Amino acid sequence: MSKISIVVPVFNSELDLRRCLDSISRQSYDDFEVILVNDGSTDNSAQICDEYVGKDSRYKVIHCKNSGVSIARNIGIDNASGKYISFIDSDDWVEGDFLKKMVDAVESSVDIIISGVVCDYSDGSCKDLLVDDSISDISSSKNFHRLVKSRLLYGPVAKLYKSDIIKLNNIKFQKGLNYGEDRLFNYEYMRYVTTVATVGGCRYHYVMHNSNSLTSRIYHNMFDLEYVQWHALYDIYQFHGNLTNEAKSDIYAELFWIINDNIFDSVQRGDYKLVKRILSIPDISDCKTVCHKIKCNPILKWCIFERKALSLYFIIFLIKLCK
């Protein structure tokens, strides 16, 4: 049995897939298996998967009908035999010592290993998302908040998860979600975590295809998706007893900007009913407690806190009209 099962969901990735798989094959640490889940690709991705299975016994492929990345990852989990599970997206790539650095951080009591990520943009620029390599015990409120603020719990990549924790607690990626399903997976997993190992540096390259990225699209239910994620994060803070004043301040400030951004998008689409629905959520009252932290037009801020939907709608409409 391999120590690490690497799950790679594949869908129409022929342009980047070989770079991804070659980067895995070149790992200095070699005790791993690679589970390729071909999610009904219509390009040459299936043939490329078969090619790597044919030349490297550590690779296996599961061909299935197109059902989305969540189900593809779940299929990978179900077929993983390693002690740890790692997820690598098929258009991303990892540096040669990626697994070695992660494994070096493994101790028997560690529930999750987290490393930094390099975001590679299509214009050639990049941005590092680093994690403090001194974080270990998340029962410490300060440590947990530092981990959340790193933004590395947003996705499943650049991590080693304990397979037993995932399987014994039936933790799955939620099917049917088109945004934030990976963050919800992490928040659910964190319910069963007490110890963390963090690895300094960034050896996972997350390729940002700007024109197609999820963050560049607007979904009709974007507010609901983001609100569910926000509540899941709030619940994790409460679950671990880490809801300090600093954490509350940051969490409610984040909620304010979710509300603000979605109201602006709603006005742009002419959806006054959604503006009213957003302003009806009970948590707005708690956002008032961090009013001093939020740098926003004071009139807009007052309208949100006082739930003045009609006034807010016309003010934003005029702002957009003037632009």
pLDDT band at 1 (very low <50, low <70, confident <90, very high): low
Read off the tokens for 41: 């690709």
Tell me, what's the pLDDT at 146? 87
Inter-residue contact 72 to 11 (CB < 8 Å): yes
Instruction: Break the chain into its structural domains and give their ranges.
Output: 4-216, 244-322
Kindly state the tokens that stand for 35.
């589970």
pLDDT at 211 over 70: no
Question: CB 272: neighbour CB atoms within 10 A?
Answer: 16
The mean per-residue pLDDT over the stretch 247-270 comes to 94
Spell out the residues 6+ positions from residue 195 whose beta carbon is closer than 8 angstroms to its own.
107, 109, 110, 111, 136, 137, 138
**Contact 28/97 with Cβ under 8 angstroms?**
yes
pLDDT exceeding 70 applies to what percent of the chain?
A: 96
Q: Work out the pLDDT band at 218, boundaries 50, 70, 90.
A: low
CA distance 60 to 320: 52
Query: Per-residue confidence at 261, pLDDT binned at 50, 70, 90?
Result: very high
CATH value of 4-216 in 3.40.50.970, 3.90.550.10, 3.40.50.300, 3.10.129.10: 3.90.550.10
CA 263 vs. chain centroid, Å, equals 23
CA quadruple 81, 87, 92, 98: dihedral, nearest 10: -80
Q: Which residues contact 86 (CB under 8 A, 6 or more apart)?
A: 4, 5, 6, 7, 32, 99, 102, 159, 160, 161
Residue 44 DSSP symbol: S
With a pLDDT cut of 90, the percent of the chain lying above it is 75
List pLDDT tens digits, range 162-184. Answer: 999 999 999 999 988 778 899 99
Residue 105 has pLDDT above 60, yes or no: yes
Distance, in Å, from the CA atom of 287 to the CA atom of 95, rounded to the nearest integer, reads 42
Of the CA atoms within 13 Å of residue 53, those in its CB half-sphere come to: 15
pLDDT of residue 214: 38
Name the pTM for this structure.
0.91
Of residues 84 and 123, more confidence is placed in 84
Question: For 271-292, what is each residue's pLDDT tens digit?
Answer: 999 999 999 999 999 998 887 8
Distances (CA, A) of 91 to 23, 129, 180, 182: 11, 18, 18, 16
Q: What is the predicted pLDDT for the residue at 140?
A: 79
Q: What is the pLDDT of residue 266?
A: 94
Where is average pLDDT lowest: 96-105, 131-140, 207-216? 207-216
Query: Over the Cα atoms of the chain, what is R_g?
Result: 21
The mean of the pLDDT values for the chain is: 91
Please give the C-alpha separations between residue 268 and each of 101, 297, 313, 321, in angstroms, as whole numbers.
47, 18, 10, 10
Q: What's the whole-number mean pLDDT along residues 253-265?
A: 95
Report the alpha-carbon distance of residue 37 to residue 49 in Å, rounded.
9
pLDDT of 215 higher than 50? no
The region, left, alpha or beta by phi > 0 then psi within -120 to 50, assigned to residue 132 is beta
DSSP, collapsed to helix, strand or coil, labels residue 3 as: coil
**Three-state SS sequence of 69-131:** HHHHHHHHHHCCCCCEEEECCCCCEECCCHHHHHHHCCCCCCCEEEEEEEEEECCCCEEEECC
Predicted confidence (pLDDT) per residue in 29-48, tens digit: 999 999 999 999 999 999 99
**Closest by CA position to 27, among listed 88, 95, 80:** 95
